[in-house]
Amino acid sequence: MNFGLDPETLRNGLLLYIVLIGSLCIHEWAHAITAHKLGDDTPESEGRVTLNPVAHMDLTGSVILPLLFIFVFPVGMLFGWGKPVRINPSNFARDKRKRSEILITIAGPGSNLVIAMLAAIVGGLLYRVEPRTTELFGLVIRINVLLAVFNLIPLPPLDGGQIMRHVTNMKDETFYNLSRWSFLIIIVAINIPAFRMLLGVVMGVVGWPMMMIYSVLAG
């Protein structure tokens, strides 16, 4: 346990937290705006079709746990989530329901990949003017690649689990039963070195194009 908050530690921790929360909120907004565009008014009625971070923050997943992992238990692991966006599938045409739910699901991780790509382009160009921006844009790329990859793990209720549910025509009962144990499974998995190594490899592969673009533009 480390309570030493020197100015450098505080600065780095706050920067990490701000980037994480901003990325999580855009992830949830992407789910909400996609559902809204596809005809479901549930996210709008619940105030989720907005970029206001407060609307997407979860007390445990967006405040307590991230701050604990950043400032109290800095073990090289970051954990957090935003408030899930609720949808009503009955608002979609029956013949387009599965397609709509899959599009809404992939919008979250997709938004993180878009952010990472934009950070690579803008960061690479700005590097020529101000090299010190490399820390910020590198962090934005890493956090968003992490969120995209982690959320696509095929385990309910992560986005990857939702996609698996539709691809395999999983029964609702099976999906919800798996969801009950998913948090425990995730906690165990991220503490297994082999799993963390695999996650790192996948992140490296997904993030490679962004880092290449950054390097080329930075000259």
* pLDDT 10s digits, 1-59: 445 578 888 999 999 999 999 999 999 999 999 999 999 999 999 999 999 999 999 99
* Tens digit of each residue's pLDDT (9 = 90 or more) over 88-140: 999 998 889 999 999 999 999 999 999 999 999 999 999 999 999 999 999 99
Average pLDDT, the chain: 93
Identify the CA nearest to 25 among candidates 86, 83, 104.
83
Query: Please, which residues have CB within 8 angstroms of residue 107's CB and are 6 or more apart in sequence?
Result: 30, 31, 33, 34
Can you give the pLDDT at residue 110? 98
In a domain, 162, yes or no: yes
* Residue 32: partners with Cβ closer than 8 Å, 6 or more residues away: 43, 44, 48, 49, 50, 85
The model's pTM: 0.93
Task: Assess if residue 2 is contained within a domain.
Answer: no
**So what's the pLDDT on residue 75?**
65
**Residue 153 belongs to some domain of the structure:** yes
Please check whether residue 1 lies inside any domain of the structure.
no
- Indicate whether 202 belongs to any domain: yes
Q: Are 21 and 53 in contact (CB under 8 A)?
A: yes
pLDDT at position 3 is: 53
Say how many domains are in the chain.
1
Question: What is the residue range of 103's domain?
Answer: 7-218
The full 3-state SS of 103-141, as one line of letters, equals HHHHHHHHHHHHHHHHHHHHHHHHHCCCHHHHHHHHHHH
pLDDT mean over 142-171 = 93
pLDDT of 72 reads 86
